[in-house]
Amino acid sequence: GLPPPPTSGQGLPPPPTSGQGLPPPPTSGQGLPPPPTSVHHGLTYQPGPVPTATTGLAGPTGLAGPTSFATQMAAAPPSGGVSSAHTSVPELRPVNVMEVRNILPAQPLEHPRAILPGGLHDFNPDPSVLCSTMNAVPATSGMLNKMKLPFAIHVHPFKDLDRSACPVLHPRVIVRCRSCRTYINPFVTFIDSRHWRCNLCFRPNALPEDFDINHQTGLRGDRSHRVELKRSSVEYIAPSEYMPSVYYFLIDVSYNSIERGLLGVFCRVLLDCLDKLPGDARTMIGVLTYDSTLHFYNLQSALSQPQMLVVSDIGDVFLPSPNSLFVNIKQSKELIRTLLEDLPGMFANNRNTSSALGAALQASYKLLHPIGGRVTVLQSGLPNLGPGALKFKDNGSALKKDAINMSPSSDFYKRLALDCSAQQIAVDLFVFSGQFVDLPTISCISKFTSGQVSYHPNFHHSKAVEREKFEKEFRRYLTRNIGYEAVMRIRCTEGMSLHTFHGNFFVRSTDLLSLPNVNPDLGYAINISIDESLKSIGMVCFQVALLYTSYRGERRIRVHTLALPVSDQLAQVYARVDVQAIAGVIAKMAVDRSSSSSLGDSREALMNTAIDCTKMYRTHCASSMQSNFSLPASLSLLPLLMLSLMKLRAFTLSASVSTDSRMQAMNFIKQLPLDHLMLYVCPHLYALHDLSDKDVESRDDGMEVVCPQLLQLTAEKLTRYGMYLMDYGLGLYIWVNKETPQELIQFVCGVQHFGAIPENMTVLPAPTNTFSRMVSMLIKQIRRSRQHHMPLLVIREDGPHRLLFIDRLSQDKTERGTSYYEFLTHVNRQLTK
């Protein structure tokens, strides 16, 4: 923003001459310069009059104008009832959730937008990259406490974005605040043609000499070429080159792995993807197999065939040939291929049931600690030998399910993970076992190294569905974008602070996360505290900067900046809450509580969110005419989302959920970016039998898309003759009823009647008519919108997989929990106590 208006006889200071500079940051006792009162992104600098009381920004929100949201809210009473101005705002329309039968919207719910002056909200990043639970920030911590809702941001920092959404820049100088090191962005203020004011710490900074020169036109004063002033998501290329891509694979070759056919599937997929691994001419690779011993492989290009080196002393692991255990992939490609072709046969008759996972991880750490890299583990059973050996623990036999604690039973894997993180080593874990493997414990190796956990309890090479699911997931894993040696720093406007982080990482300092590897499938959330009054600030900002090394060896910095208005009116804050972002961060907080306390405490916290939020809204904002269970339209989905969370595998009290599958559900909640997480919590359900030409729309780019209406998640809305598609975030289900017309079954499934539908059908035949083409189009567009593999499963009403679909109908009473109406009745009783 601009500085305060000059008083009589004053003016703006002249730009510094040669040898001069800006004054140093204020020392202790001097205080900060006043915060900005207006914002100008300054694509072309034109000195003009300072805004006056009539032309500037009005009110504590920094919003003005006859049609602005702030104007609609101007009549808001400081507390108590809702004025007529409130009811004209759709987001504040009171909703009695006890009486609304169709609570879910007919179209996918969009994230609300922050409203900023001068159209500045158009510069904010895509909400799938960076968003807040509140798009109007409470001015004080007291206001925030009244709401009983979390203030947090969700970030998907390494999402796959095209150049238009995240331009790549290679400037001569990367312009940053000299005090807080914020990167220049569309929300800074230009004091004059030579100086800008930081939008986070409000300190003035000098611009580089050539900042205003457009080298294409030769014109000075033209900032139209400064992409960093027009995009809130940008990526800078730094000058230095860093480490090469390093891939090290640990494969469990004990009897469980061999019997399941895991080794053969792994070798086949890696062989197919060997030339597609991200990297350059320096890319390195290595392989280690293990059972009760460790098997290293010398793959030096000078050898005629791979050489196995066996280490049987797993109590004190050593490296038999440190300089030859991982090699340049181009120089040793033929030996690598030979090894992958021979490995399945080498262990085909292995009957060893021991698994020395801890020793294998220790060996990997010793091998990679000078250079860092990615370790990929394929584990098929409980680690039962050597360092990190674990014992069977049956949480399912607890007298009370709500007393289950999901904390690790040993700190071995966490301690090793912290050592790996310090040396820029990330560990990704793929687990294949239907028996207990103590996932809460071994997943620590991934949690603290920014890795990921993938769980395949039903995998067997003879099961086409499970084999295909792993193969496609693993292909994506091997070939997706990757960043090494990453750190992520989150900055926010002074007066706020970061207090809790959610995701897989190691916290290096109060605002810095260590991410040895970063990939496009992981998201993070950060809870925010309001430490000082923000009433004098019209706008607050968050900036996420991800510094990483690309697989080409380039050091890059990806920067995302979000700006939000500040409000001292609770009604305005309620109107701009993002119920999806709120549910997402509450889910992550509940996962943490299940480890630090118990499953029962997590469920109680979810229940209390619905109760406390409703009670606070009724106390501070609702009118006396509204019912006890009224919520603003912006929060009307919160009770259903809390119930849906309680019915997930992560939090349900169902006796059929094992410890490991519960832990993997919690891993999903911790790892998934917000948009994917919300589909996992509250799936989209479509009636395929109702598809028609009216559901097909043409986009601006000429592509046709299918936009059917969403259904409520209840069997009450399912007809006996219907066919339905469910998108649950991680995959797709097609539900076929017994009475579905044979014509529909033939069109979609390619078989003559209901009984002919295979139990494990995962691929639909090529479309042959208009209806099947629309079904195919809908499935393809859903898959295109995701970065990960979306497996499809056709489920018959009488088939063995029917509970996979039924358990996702969160508004119905199932084994996993109560119905939506019963949940509302319970909440209402608590409200009337």
DSSP 575-631: HTB-HHHHHHHHHHHHHHHHHHS-HHHHHHHHHHHHHHHHHHHHHHT--TTS-TTEE
Structure tokens at 650: 């992560």
- Do residues 125 and 541 make contact, with C-beta atoms less than 8 angstroms apart? no
Residue 198: pLDDT band by 50, 70, 90 thresholds?
A: very high
**Three-class DSSP labels, 50-112:** CCCCCCCCCCCCCCCCCCCHHHHCCCCCCCCCCCHHHHCCHHHCEEECCCCCCCCCCCCCCCC
pLDDT at 693 over 90: no
Of 676, 710, 666, nearest to 580 (Cα)? 676
Q: What is the pLDDT of residue 215?
A: 66
CA-to-CA distance for 744 and 736, rounded, in angstroms?
10
CB of 801 closer than 8 Å to CB of 458: no
Task: Tell me how far CA of residue 142 lies from CA of 112, 428, 529, 563, in angstroms.
Answer: 24, 42, 11, 22
Give which of 731, 770, 728 is closest to 748, Cα–Cα: 770
Q: Report how far Cα 734 is from the mean position of its chain's Cα atoms.
A: 26
Average pLDDT score over residue span 136-157 = 96
Are the beta carbons of 127 and 159 closer than 8 angstroms?
Answer: no
Cβ-Cβ contacts under 8 Å for 80 (sequence gap 6 or more): 620, 621, 623
Query: What average pLDDT does this structure show over 158-162?
Result: 93
pLDDT at 56: 30
Q: Is 426 helix (H, G, I), strand (E, B) or coil?
A: strand
Burial 244-255 (b: 16+ CB within 10 A, else e): bbbbbbbbbbbb
Please calculate the CA angle 487-491-496 and round it to the nearest 5 degrees. 140
Q: What is the pLDDT of residue 750?
A: 93
Residue of 179, 161, 181, 172 whose CA lies nearest to 231: 161
- Residue 327's contacts (CB-CB under 8 Å, 6 or more residues apart) are 284, 285, 286, 299, 300, 301, 335, 336
- The neighbouring-strand residues paired with 453 are 429
> 189-192 and 195-197 as β-strands: parallel, antiparallel, unpaired?
antiparallel
- Identify whether the C-beta of residue 673 lies closer than 8 Å to the C-beta of residue 130: no
Q: Within a 10 A sphere around the Cβ of 765, how many other Cβ atoms? A: 13
Which of the two residues, 220 and 249, has the higher pLDDT score?
249
Residue 221's pLDDT is what? 66
Of 465, 458, 408, 451, which is closest to residue 432 (Cα–Cα)?
458
Report the alpha-carbon distance of residue 450 to residue 430 in Å, rounded.
14
Whether pLDDT at 619 is above 90: no
Quick check: 72 pLDDT over 50?
Answer: no
- Model pLDDT, residue 73: 41
Which residues touch 9 (CB under 8 Å, ≥6 apart)?
none
Q: 290 near 248, Cβ under 8 Å?
A: no
How far is 715 from 707, CA to CA, in rounded Å? 22
DSSP strand pairing (233-241 vs 554-567):
antiparallel
User: Residue 443's closest CA among 388, 485, 395?
Assistant: 388
C-alpha distances in angstroms, 817 versus 714, 800, 811? 14, 21, 10
Task: Give the per-residue pLDDT at 320.
Answer: 93
Q: What is the pLDDT of residues 86-136, one digit of tens each?
A: 556 888 999 999 999 899 999 999 999 999 988 898 999 999 999 999 999
Lookup result for tokens 């890319």: 283
Q: What DSSP element (H or E) covers 545? A: strand 539-550
Q: Which residue has the higher pLDDT, 787 or 192?
A: 192
CA 586 – CA 580 distance, rounded (Å) = 10
The pLDDT confidence band at residue 57, using thresholds 50, 70 and 90, is very low
Q: Can you read off the two tokens belonging to residue 382?
A: 């409980």
Distance CA 814, CA 218 (A): 69
CA 322 to chain centre: 37
Q: Can you read off the two tokens belonging to residue 589? A: 């907080």
Cα separation, 632 vs 346, in Å, equals 65
Distance CA 103, CA 636 (A): 8
b/e string for 601-631 if b means 16 or more Cβ within 10 A? bbbbbbbebbbbbbbbbbebbbeeebeebbb
Structure tokens that stand for 805 in this block: 């679909």
According to the 3-state scheme, what is the secondary structure of 688-715?
A: HHHCCHHHEEECCCCCEEECCCCCCCCH
Which residues does 11 contact at the CB level (< 8 Å), separation at least 6?
A: none
Give the mean pLDDT of 443-462.
Answer: 96
Contact 801, 793 (CB under 8 A): yes
C-beta separation of 664 from 439 below 8 A: yes
Q: What is the chain's mean pLDDT, rounded?
A: 87
Distance, CA of 76 to CA of 86 (rounded, Å): 7
Range 472-498 average pLDDT:
95
Q: What are phi and psi of 301, to 5 degrees?
A: -65, -20
Q: Which of 567, 561, 490, 568 is nearest to 525 (CA)?
A: 490
Q: Choose between 21 and 687: higher pLDDT.
A: 687
Q: What is the mean pLDDT of residues 399-403?
A: 60
With a CB cutoff of 8 Å and minimum separation 6, the contacts of 385 are: 292, 314, 354, 355, 356, 359
| C-alpha to C-alpha distances, 487 to 231, 268, 384, 517, 600, nearest whole angstrom | 22, 34, 34, 9, 35
Closest CA to 130 of 403, 525, 397, 532: 525
Dist CA 804 CA 179 (whole Å): 54
3-state secondary structure (DSSP) of residue 544: strand
d(CA 470, CA 792): 13
Only one residue has tokens 């208005």, namely 565
pTM, rounded to two decimals: 0.87
Quick one: which of 493, 495, 674, 456 has its CA closest to 580?
674
Sign of CA dihedral 348, 353, 357, 363: negative
- CA 775 to chain centroid: 28
Write down the pLDDT at residue 203.
95
* Res 239 pLDDT > 80: no
Three-state SS string over 298-332 comes to ECCCCCCCCEEEEECCCCCCCCCCHHHCCEECCCC
pLDDT tens sequence across 1-54: 333 433 333 333 343 333 333 344 343 333 344 444 434 443 333 333 333 322
Tell me the one-letter amino acid at 779.
I
Query: What is the pLDDT at residue 67?
Result: 34
Q: What are phi and psi of 543, to 5 degrees?
A: -130, 125
- In eight-state DSSP terms, residue 37 is S
> pLDDT band at 465, cuts 50/70/90?
confident
Query: Helices 820-831 and 599-620, interaxial angle, to 10°?
Result: 60
pLDDT at 69: 39
Q: What is the DSSP letter of 1?
A: -
Instruction: With a cut of 90, say whether residue 457 has pLDDT above it.
Output: yes
Q: Which two tokens stand for residue 617?
A: 């809204």
**Token duo for residue 305:** 């065939």
> 35 or 454: whose pLDDT is higher?
454
**Range ranked top by mean pLDDT from 109-118, 527-536, 693-702:** 527-536
Q: Report the distance separating Cα 520 and Cα 675, nearest Å.
A: 13
Per-residue pLDDT band at 223 (split at 50, 70, 90): confident
Q: How much is the pLDDT for 758?
A: 93
Question: Which is it for the CA torsion 583, 588, 593, 599, positive or negative?
Answer: positive
Span 138-145, average pLDDT = 96
Partnered with residue 796 across adjacent β-strands are: 736
